[in-house]
A and B are shown apart, each in its own frame.
Chain A
């Protein structure tokens, strides 16, 4: 494994008496794609929110690039270089494609010291980004509410590819995509990883995990039930880890 980008050490999260995470430890290397698998309620989304800065862990610590890391807000996580694509889409449907693409990071030019949106520059960037990803949207100036589910998800995916950062978290990013778009999406993930960005992808679909991931981490009942390199395991073994029937193939990677 390459140099670790993010290390989680015994991260827990309690909601009152309920332990959603009972001590998660694993790490992600630079340029590595980790598939995070687990049954519903295993704690995957909770974990993503903790890394992405929506939720604070009850205990444990995280190291990002070797330094102590705790993002109190998504803004802090973004500043550190953590991008997240959430399961429920994070688009503002009342504004157009360009505004969504640049949400919170608008290109501005100063007029008398006042920041003014530079719409033309932003539109050019978005047009380029979408074209290179092969996403077709009739007009970048259409409000997102008029676009299909697949087009919306494509915008989100292109957004993270464009902004990159250092670590990308994808929470079931392909739920609304068709076959061809999913293939493209998986390609995009590889592309991003090849740039040295760490990728964590949560998915329910075993085939996707095996197509794209370098390593598979299984979470069950709030603990890591398995952490294996993709080429040293099989879908059946992973399913067993998810359901908890056996611990075959479990253990630290490589």
Chain B
């Protein structure tokens, strides 16, 4: 095999999920009536913003060789906190700040801090008490959702302050600002993972934790930061969720975790750690979202979505194994 074909093949393998996304979009555009419209594509990006942001945090921790099952509940808690503080009906307290725009940074900061605290709690237990991240974050997944129920009393908050909702309404180049926030997050964290020592260290920790420790990398510190980031990013996802639904309900975002996992795995991140890139994850998120949109447009019952997502995850894992064998032949 000459070097050029090898390089081309490696490029395809590295970006397989993007090719799949393009392929799926073309197929849907041809066979699904009304699919091929700018509005539909904008809708796909818009609909995937919350899931996308959440997948970033999840990916960071998984690439570092750990796990965070709590992101969904953390997002819900952040959304509920923002909802209770800044909603005017339901259980909302309707806090007003003047000037009005001040509510945006304040609510965002609160959402990030709520998420970050729970992330720090998870990270501390994983690093210091050396418990399995799976168990700890499973516990957090349960108790944080419980906390949402406790602080809301099972009721909901509606009518988020208009100054905050503005983000979900105001459009730039056809996309609401919330979608741009998700895109910006992907760009930012993709750069961090690919270009900074911190990102490089996370990947290496996911590959061989002992080796990185011996090499003098501060493994524990990096891991705690990864968990805090995952929590804070989940908080951001919660903030976006609150804007999108203009409030919060006690069961807000249920099921997002499994979609996030699906997106991460489809995006080429290995659950064993050390493998995967964030652009791939974004493609995974968009792939899920475009399939959902197709299902809606075809008028299939929404219940089919879950079946298809499950099959997609299976396909992604099989594809990953297949990619590995091809790569071994290449080497």
Q: Hey, which bits of chain A sit against chain B, CB under 8 A?
A: 52, 54, 73-75, 78-79, 84, 86, 89-95, 99, 103-106, 108, 114-117, 142, 146
Q: Using Cβ atoms and an 8 Å threshold, which residues of chain B touch A91? A: 208, 211
Least distance between A10 CB and chain B CB atoms (Å):
26
Which of B26-34, B137-145, B197-205, B229-237 lies at the binding interface?
B197-205
Q: Which of A79, A94, A95, A104 contacts B217 (CB 8 A)?
A: A104
Q: Using Cβ atoms and an 8 Å threshold, which residues of chain B touch A105? A: 215-216
* Bound CA–CA A28/B328 (angstroms): 44
Q: Check if A94 sits within 8 Å of B215, measured CB to CB.
A: no
Cβ of B132 within 8 Å of any chain A Cβ, yes or no, is no
Give the interface size bracket for B toward A.
Answer: 20 to 34
Q: Check if A115 sits within 8 Å of B218, measured CB to CB.
A: no
* A86 in contact with B208 given A106-B197, A117-B197, A146-B331 (CB within 8 Å): no
* A142 in contact with B331 given A94-B203, A94-B274 (CB within 8 Å): yes
Least distance between A7 CB and chain B CB atoms (Å):
23
Q: Which of A78, A79, A103 contacts B212 (CB 8 A)?
A: A103
Q: Check if B217 sits within 8 Å of A90, measured CB to CB.
A: no
Cβ of B36 within 8 Å of any chain A Cβ, yes or no, is no
Q: Check if A92 sits within 8 Å of B195, measured CB to CB.
A: no
Interface centre among A52, A92, A117 (most CB of B within 10 A): A92
Q: Check if A75 sits within 8 Å of B216, measured CB to CB.
A: yes
Q: Which of A54, A79, A108, A146 contacts B214 (CB 8 A)?
A: A54
Q: Check if A92 sits within 8 Å of B211, measured CB to CB.
A: yes
A-B contact pairs, 24 of them (CB 8 A): A52-B214, A54-B214, A74-B214, A79-B216, A86-B214, A91-B211, A92-B204, A92-B212, A92-B274, A94-B203, A94-B204, A94-B207, A94-B275, A99-B204, A103-B211, A103-B217, A104-B212, A108-B196, A108-B197, A115-B196, A116-B195, A116-B196, A117-B196, A117-B197
Q: Check if A103 sits within 8 Å of B204, measured CB to CB.
A: yes
